[in-house]
Amino acid sequence: MTAELDYQALNCAGASVVTSATDYPDGHVIPLHRHSCAQLLYATRGVMTVDAAAGRWMVPPGRAVWLQAHVDHQIRMHGEVGLRTLLLDVAMSPHLPARSCVLDISPLLRELIAAAHGNPAGYDANKDANTDADARNWHMLQLLLHELASVTVLPLYLPLPLAARLRSLCELLMATPGKQVTIETWAGQLGISTSTLHRLFLRQTGMRFGHWRQQARLLQAMEQLARGGKVAAAAQDQGYSSQSAFSAMFKKHFGSTPTAFYR
């Protein structure tokens, strides 16, 4: 397994792909850092939240987050997390995701990620395939890149405003998701009108205030469920009037019920 210090120092450094496999305990935090190339962070088990200046990605088990190069980010583990990392030179393929996002990992891609970690930690796909092992690695990496370009992007991202007052409001909303407070109250606390709050929020996050709050609650509920929490408890903690109302909203947003999603 790769030590945390080595993980934070990982960069492509002339290789087309660099791999890292590390298991982390519940509550472990990898401090703010960046890599010089893009990376795929895959959770074999456990849940990760990845925080950057622009927002937060929530990564359930069996999913992965794709991060562009030079993105400062911090990773927090919820439950015991099996972290598998691929650092990739994006010049290898023009079809890789154009922005940071959470990806739904297909069974084939899952096996390709596992196979990639059986190879040397640093591998240059641009060199000549002089051996059968080189040829296998080259073909496997090309298939991984093609599969990575075709997987579904999941709506597991919460944008955060850069303006200090709005960011403080968002942090308070995330800390008290079940608190039933109207937007008029929040606007009053900021000393601005509701129309101004709506306008600033849309400009800073690309989302309307009500949609953002709903997304924040759903992602926190998803994190709670991924750690083994009950659907009813998650619904109550996130301020939903009933379990059925929560399940209906969850299905509308993610395409399946909470139970089906984790199955």
The burial class, CB within 10 Å (0-12 / 13-18 / 19+), for 118 is: exposed
* Domains located in the chain, CATH noted: 4-154 (2.60.120.280), 161-262 (1.10.10.60)
* Closest CA relative to residue 106, chosen from 59, 141, 146, 151: 151
DSSP per position, 32-82: EE--SSEEEEEESSSEEEEEETTEEEEE-TTEEEEE-TT--EEEEEESSEE
Give the Cα separation of 104 and 72 in Å (integer): 23
Cβ contact 225:258 at 8 Å: yes
Helices within 51-163 (DSSP H only) = 107-116, 132-148
CA gap 253, 216 in Å, rounded: 12
Rounded to 5 degrees, what angle do the CA atoms 3, 83, 74 make? 80
Q: φ and ψ at 32, to 5 degrees?
A: -55, 130
pLDDT tens, N- to C-terminus, the chain (263 residues): 333 445 555 566 555 778 888 999 988 999 999 988 899 999 998 889 999 999 999 998 889 999 999 999 999 998 889 999 998 888 777 778 889 999 999 999 999 998 887 665 555 555 555 566 677 777 888 888 889 888 999 989 999 999 898 999 899 888 888 888 888 998 998 889 999 999 999 999 999 998 999 999 999 888 888 778 899 999 999 988 899 999 999 998 888 888 887 76
**Distance set, CA 227 to CA 1, 64, 78, 80, 220 (Å):** 24, 17, 7, 9, 11
pTM for the whole structure: 0.82
Q: Dihedral of CA 6/21/114/118: which sign?
A: positive
Most distant pair of Cα atoms in the chain: their distance: 69
**What number of other Cβ atoms are within 10 A of residue 247's Cβ?**
20
- Where b means 16+ CB within 10 Å and e means fewer, 179-189 reads eeeeeeebbee
Contact indicator for 22, 2 with CB cutoff of 8 Å: yes
